[in-house]
Amino acid sequence: MENQTKSLADFYQAVILLANHYRLEQVERGQGKFCTFVFSDPDGTAQATIDRHWRRELTVVSRDLIDAIVELKTKIYDRGQI
> Above 80 in pLDDT, residue 62?
yes
pLDDT at 81: 47
List of long-range contacts for 11-14, beta carbons under 8 Å, 24+ apart? 11/35, 11/37, 11/72, 13/50, 13/53, 14/39, 14/72
pLDDT at 38: 97
